[in-house]
Amino acid sequence: MNVLIIEDEPLAAEKLISMLKTYDKDISILDVCSSVESALRWFSLNEDPDLGFFDIQLGDGTSFDIFEKVNVNFPVIFTTAYDRFAIKAFKVNSVDYLLKPFENEDLTAALEKFKSIHYSRINAMGMKQTVESVVRALKPENSYRERFVITVGQHLKLVYISDIVCFYSEEKSTFILTNEGRTYYLHQSLNQIEEELDPKIFFRTSRKEILNFRFMGAIINYGRNRLKITIDVPGEKREIVVSKERVKTFRDWLEQSS
């Protein structure tokens, strides 16, 4: 289990880490962020953890500020010395709410609650992926998207799939990068776009990017079991990272696409 801790008191962070290791020595602490700013920076550079422990009151705001600026798509256990935040905590991705100082049995109960919710979610996702794979297998190849209509000022422009290097999300918006190095805004989300693309040509490398097989350059091992891909576009030095959760699937996809 990969855990991110947001806590501005070093002693409290150390105690929480010790308690987590006591519960399960295989728990991996990805990082400890001590402020809203450092947490936002961490999220811009890393994949989501399996679970977050968020202290609510931080030196530069509250951890609720984080939810307003990034999509927190993973479960969170809040830790705080103030019970007045309880109602607000359960309006976001909260698994539990631990009032400081909490004991080992409190933490254990919260983690067991997380595990029961987490495994239920995994089973549901597994069923969803099975259904999606059947739908995709039955889908005729010629029904995949062939082009996008882009609004450029007062004009409409056709951008063909064969000219698209990648799709990516940035600051809650979606963009395409073409083989001419041009960037265009799209109204659809990456999840919507992914369903319309031929999986033999495009691969979802992370929650933020979808790559066109035909424009891949060098593939490089990139720490913590990830891969980094350079793309072949004139004047564009973009690099795309394959998240560690998708590396094995990516390798299998390369063999099928080659």
Model pLDDT for residues 15-73, shown as the tens digit of each residue: 999 999 999 999 999 999 999 999 999 988 888 898 999 998 888 888 888 888 888 88
Q: How is residue 93 written in tokens?
A: 């991705």
Q: Please tell me the pTM assigned to this model.
A: 0.47
* Overall size of the chain counted in residues: 258
Question: How does DSSP classify residue 144?
Answer: S
Helix (H) or strand (E) holding 236: none
Output the pLDDT for position 128.
40
Mean pLDDT of the chain, nearest integer: 82
| SS3 label, residue 102 | coil
Q: How is residue 223 written in tokens?
A: 């720490």
Rounded Cα distance between 79 and 102, Å, is 9
Kindly indicate the confidence band of residue 100, based on its pLDDT and cuts at 50, 70 and 90.
Answer: confident
Task: Count CB-CB contacts under 10 A for residue 252.
Answer: 10
For the stretch 193-234, pLDDT in tens is 988 898 889 999 988 999 998 888 889 888 767 899 988 777
Output the pLDDT for position 156.
87
